[in-house]
Amino acid sequence: MPSLKDLKNRIESVKSTRKITKAMQMVAAAKLRRAQDAAEQSRPYAERFNAVMGKLAASVGDSDSAPRLLRGTGSDDVHLLVVLTAERGLCGGFNANIAKLARAEAEDLRAKGKTVKILTVGKKGRDALKRDLGELFIHHVDLSEVKNIGYADAQTIAADVLSRFDAGEFDVAKIFYSKFVNVVSQVPSMQQVIPFQVDEETAEEAPEASVVYDYEPDEEAILADLLPRGVATAIFSALLENGASEQGARMSAMDNATRNAGEMIDKLTIEYNRSRQAVITNELIEIISGAEAL
Amino acid sequence: MAETVQFDLVSPERRLVSVEATEVRIPGAEGDLTAMAQHSPLITTLRPGILTVSGPEGEAEYVVTGGFAEIGADSVSVLAEKAIPSGDMTQEHFKALVDEATDKLAKAQETFVNEPGPVDDAAKLLSDMVAMGDHIGLSAN
């Protein structure tokens, strides 16, 4: 049976934990709004970009002269998994879910006899995958110094991926990130960026697919120019989705933590009051029985 | 009033401009072009340069680098990797762009010793940058 003093200390400590989680929740809520804004602002570019790329890719097709970024290297033996996660923890299952998806894919590919290489962005994903797949890491990008993700950050990552592709280090590249649906739901997702794949949804949505465009310079030259940018764009939107997801996940995780702390405080307070009552009753019994003995 | 087109200037980070315009002068990769209403559908890549939008509210100039323009009969969308209103363009900004282009040229010269293609492309990028700087009164050095 813990003493009254012990109980009091525990109540105090849970109370200060609750204060911290509450504060983190509010900070996450404010950051979430900003992250969501950023994600929404970037959407027009990504949508149009993909629409045009879809059109171009369809018109160039699988001809032999198509750029390698579209056509692929002709084999799919070496896969590069780019795992985008957060730099910080305390955000529920956010990092773990992305890592889980990446691990499943890596194991699946290895079972098929493919070579897997992993590039991690964000400390948490690196930590989560290090034990099982640490020997597959080829590079790590640290974004902990970056406060607001800019397009330049995505460009740096894309440039690194592209130079590895040009050097023939891999055949297929996929990115792993978490899609932001709403505050309580973030879906870990996988997207293939090299070779470029036309997103079926955007392809169907393309309104004026029937219009015949002139191209200046020709389609293939434009494609060669745009494909590397497409990789950067895909990574950029993934980073922004991730940013919003992270804050959303943290917000709901901290909301839960705050509520649990509240429940715990209630329970401990009842226990505290009961044992205080017991102590008083005990004292009274002692006094009364002492008086009776006289 | 002249016919107008819906003009959008979008960068990866945000939508910069969305206005009605009567004509848009675009620095295309193979030469400047002016898009007005009823232009035939065209997709062109951009070279670094000045993009001018004329509309009912007057003219506006933007410095754009990298990206492409999609021109339709009633809309012009420019997707630029970097787009800055030319008034906000500072010497530092411009210097950074020129330095980047210079680096690219040096790198291309290193990696593609026997292939003139990429080196020429990089040299053209640099000279486009410098020409653009001259236009808005900034020097490359």
Known catalytic residue at A91: yes
Work out the mean pLDDT of chain A and round it to a whole number.
Answer: 87
* Same domain assignment for residues B40 and B81: yes
Judge: A229–B67 Cβ closer than 8 Å, yes or no.
Answer: yes
Which of the two residues, A60 and A275, has the higher pLDDT score?
Answer: A275
Tell me: do A153 and A261 sit in the same domain: no
Whether pLDDT at B108 is above 70 = yes
Res A34 pLDDT > 70: yes
Is residue A150 located within the same domain as residue A270? no
Tally of structural domains, chain A: 2
Catalytic, out of A91, A99, A116, A249: A91
Assess whether A207 and A270 both reside in one domain.
Answer: no
CB A198, CB B26: distance < 8 Å: no
Residues A11-23: what's their mean pLDDT?
Answer: 96
Q: Do B65 and B116 lie in a common domain?
A: no
The answer as to whether B141 is a domain residue is no
- Under the banding of pLDDT at 50, 70 and 90, the label for residue A196 is confident
Determine the average pLDDT of the residues in A203-227. Answer: 71
The domain total for chain B is 2
The answer to whether residues A132 and A207 belong to one domain is: yes
Asked if residue B79 and residue B94 are part of one domain, the reply reads no
Rounded to an integer, the average pLDDT of B2-27 is: 87
B24 and B55 together in one domain = yes
Q: Contact A45/B28, CB-based, under 8 Å? A: no
Which DSSP helix (H) or strand (E) runs through B54?
strand B49-55
| Co-location of A133 and A144 in the same domain | yes
Contacts of A52 in chain B (CB under 8 A): 43, 68, 70, 79
B11 and B79, same structural domain? yes
Residues B71 and B99 in one domain: no
pLDDT at A98: 93
Q: Quick one: pLDDT band at residue B126, thresholds 50, 70, 90?
A: confident
Predicted pLDDT at A279: 93
Note whether A153 and A85 are same-domain residues: yes
Which domain, by its residues, includes A275? 4-21+255-293
A48 and A176 fall within a common domain:
yes
Residue B43 sits in the same domain as residue B67: yes
CB contact under 8 A, B28 and A216: yes
Same structural domain, A285 and A228: no
Is the domain of B47 the same as that of B103? Answer: no
Who wins on pLDDT, A207 or B74?
B74
Residues B129-138 have a mean pLDDT of 74
**How near does any CA of chain A get to the CA of B39, in Å?**
11
The DSSP-derived string for B86-98 is GGG--HHHHHHHH
Q: How confident is the model at residue A61 (pLDDT cuts 50, 70, 90)?
A: low
Q: Find, among B32, B39, B52, the residue nearest to B3 by Cα.
A: B39
Tell me, yes or no, whether B108 and B118 share the same domain. yes
* A269 and A173 in a common domain: no
Predicted local distance difference test score (pLDDT) of residue B140: 60
**Is residue B22 included in any domain, yes or no?**
yes
Chain B residue with the nearest C-alpha to that of A222:
B45
Instruction: Identify residues of B whose CB sits under 8 angstroms from chain A CBs.
Output: 8, 10-15, 28-30, 40-45, 66-68, 70, 72, 77, 79, 81
Sequence-ordered list of residues with C-beta below 8 angstroms from that of A103, at least 6 positions apart, any chain:
A129, A132, A133
What is the pLDDT at residue A204? 53
Instruction: Flag if A213 and B10 touch (Cβ within 8 Å).
Output: no
What are the tens digits of pLDDT across the range A138-177?
Answer: 888 888 887 788 888 898 899 899 989 888 888 999 999 9
Domain of B31, in residue numbers: 5-87
Closest chain B residue to A52, measured at CA: B70
Are B17 and B81 in the same domain?
yes
Single pTM value for the model = 0.84
Nearest to B41 among A45, A48, A213 (CB): A213
Model confidence at B68: pLDDT above 70 = yes
Residues of chain A neighbouring B12 (CB-CB closer than 8 A): 42, 45-46, 151, 154, 232-233, 236
Instruction: Please answer whether residues B70 and B46 qualify as being in contact, where contact means their C-beta atoms are separated by less than 8 angstroms.
Output: no
Neighbours of A163 (CB within 10 A): 10
Say if the Cβ atoms of B43 and A52 lie within 8 Å.
yes
A52: amino acid identity, one letter = V
pLDDT 10s digits, A124-135:
988 999 888 888
Residues B45 and B95 in one domain: no
The answer to whether residues A102 and A167 belong to one domain is yes
Same-domain pairing of A32 and A124:
yes
Residue of B nearest to A237 (CA): B12
Q: Is it the case that residue A294 has pLDDT exceeding 60? A: yes
pLDDT by residue (tens digit) across A236-292? 999 999 999 999 999 999 999 999 999 999 999 999 999 999 999 999 999 999 999
Let me know whether A11 and A38 are in one domain. no
Judge: B13–A212 Cβ closer than 8 Å, yes or no. Answer: no
Task: Test A154 with B12 for CB contact under 8 angstroms.
Answer: yes
Q: Which of B47, B66, B87 is the last residue of a domain?
A: B87
Q: Are residues B18 and B76 in the same domain?
A: yes
Give B39-52 pLDDT, tens digit per residue. Answer: 888 889 888 888 99
Average pLDDT over residues A30-40: 91
B71: closest chain A residue by CA: A213
Residue B119 domain-assigned (yes or no):
yes
**pLDDT value of residue A97:** 93
